[in-house]
């Protein structure tokens, strides 16, 4: 669902994708993701410790960082991946890797998002990497989010798609019932995520994911966050509140950069 954003709470700049008077260019969603990712990598400087995101949009950013390293345009980069998949990608590109124990403070993280509301609150984790993403991105000085305009929503959960919650496998059904009950007034339906074989999806951390589908707003997001985390069995949820410092949005009319 693409929407028009209010600029009241933050500064914005728009960059055209095409020269003035040029014919309109129709770009695919993947091309828009790549444009946003390449723009985000312009913020990367040699010597940085980088949080490397997970997902189809973040993949373009990691590819670009690897390319710039090979060209000698970047050097002395250390990456901290947010998933095993990103770790494999980064290693294949020759990006040196480390972890949070050795680098507890990260200069910059770049990642995608499943939803972005007008206040730059996010929903992430539909790829299943929400716990590691939140650990890495919560430790960074700057967190740049890269999306195409389809990810913009009026409120968290507004896409009608999944809001992921990572849970321990034992008695997951009880945890799911508690989560659904918590947001009953928002028309919440909680479902266990399945893999392509119909088995429970297992995260890199050995946990399950309960996907919450919401029909209405859930009210105060911080209150909702605290309530979910108080449920025994919940490991982490996919709401990333007040974490993004910059959001880069690629749309058919150009790039929009929104700063916190």
Q: Does residue 7 register a pLDDT over 50?
A: no
Residues with Cβ within 8 Å of residue 85, at least 6 apart in sequence: 54, 129
Looking up tokens 């074989």 gives 197
pLDDT for 11: 46
pLDDT, tens digit (0-9, with 9 covering 90-100), for 150-197: 999 999 999 999 999 999 999 999 999 999 999 999 999 999 999 999
Domain ranges of the chain: 2-152+242-259, 163-237
Please give the Cα distance from 232 to 3 (Å, whole number).
36
Please give the Cα distance from 244 to 259 (Å, whole number).
9
pLDDT band at 29 (very low <50, low <70, confident <90, very high): confident
Tokens encoding 157: 């959960």
pLDDT for 27: 82
Inter-residue contact 140 to 106 (CB < 8 Å): yes
Mean pLDDT, residues 194-223? 97
Count CB atoms within 10 A of the CB of residue 150. 14
- In the three-class reduction of DSSP (H, G, I as helix; E, B as strand; rest coil), residue 171 is classed as coil
* 67 has catalytic annotation: no
Closest C-alpha to 161, from 133, 125, 134, 195? 125
pLDDT band at 22 (very low <50, low <70, confident <90, very high): low
Inter-residue contact 248 to 146 (CB < 8 Å): yes
pLDDT band at 6 (very low <50, low <70, confident <90, very high): very low
Total residue count of the chain as it appears in this document: 260
Query: Which of these is catalytic: 115, 133, 137, 149?
Result: 133
Mean pLDDT, residues 15-37? 73
Whole-number Cα distances in Å, 227 to 76, 248, 250: 42, 30, 34
Locate the DSSP E strands across the chain. Answer: 11-15, 49-52, 78-81, 106-111, 115-116, 122-123, 140-148, 163-167, 189-192, 208-213, 234-237, 239-240, 246-251, 254-259
For the chain, what is the mean pLDDT?
92
Inter-residue contact 93 to 63 (CB < 8 Å): yes
Please give the Cα distance from 80 to 71 (Å, whole number).
21
Tokens encoding 86: 């990103």
pLDDT, tens digit (0-9, with 9 covering 90-100), for 104-160: 999 999 999 999 999 999 999 999 999 999 999 999 999 999 999 999 999 999 999
Domain 163-237 of CATH type 3.30.70.260:
yes
pLDDT for 139: 97
Please give the Cα distance from 158 to 177 (Å, whole number).
21
pLDDT, tens digit (0-9, with 9 covering 90-100), for 237-258: 999 999 999 999 998 888 999 9
Q: Does residue 1 register a pLDDT over 60?
A: no
When the candidates are 3.90.550.10, 3.40.50.1820, 3.40.50.1360, 3.10.105.10, the CATH number that belongs to 2-152+242-259 is 3.40.50.1360
pLDDT for 120: 97
Q: Does residue 19 register a pLDDT over 80?
A: no
């Amino acid at each position: 669902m693409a929407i028009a954003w209010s600029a009241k709470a933050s500064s914005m700049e728009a960059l055209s994708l095409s020269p003035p008077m040029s014919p309109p260019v129709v770009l695919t969603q993947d091309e828009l993701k790549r444009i946003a990712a390449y723009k985000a990598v312009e913020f990367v400087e040699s010597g940085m410790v980088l949080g490397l995101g997970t997902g189809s949009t973040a993949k373009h950013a990691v590819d670009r960082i690897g390319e710039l390293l090979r060209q000698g345009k970047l050097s002395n980069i250390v990456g901290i991946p947010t998933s095993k998949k990103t770790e494999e990608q980064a290693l294949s590109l020759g990006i040196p890797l480390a972890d949070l124990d050795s680098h507890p403070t990260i200069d910059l993280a770049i990642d995608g998002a499943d939803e972005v509301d007008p206040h730059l609150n996010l929903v992430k984790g539909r790829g299943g990497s929400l716990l590691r993403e939140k650990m890495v991105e919560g430790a960074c000085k700057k967190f740049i989010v890269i999306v195409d305009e389809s990810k913009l929503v009026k409120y968290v959960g507004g896409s009608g798609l999944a809001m992921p919650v990572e849970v321990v496998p034992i008695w997951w059904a009880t945890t799911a019932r508690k989560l659904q009950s918590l947001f009953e007034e928002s028309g919440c339906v909680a479902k266990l995520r399945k893999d392509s074989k119909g088995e429970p999806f297992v995260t890199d951390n050995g946990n399950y994911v309960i996907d919450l589908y919401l029909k209405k707003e859930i009210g105060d997001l911080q209150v909702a966050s605290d309530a979910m985390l108080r449920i025994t069995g919940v490991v982490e949820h996919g709401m990333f509140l007040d974490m993004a410092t910059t959001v880069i949005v690629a749309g058919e009319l150009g790039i929009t950069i929104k700063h916190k």
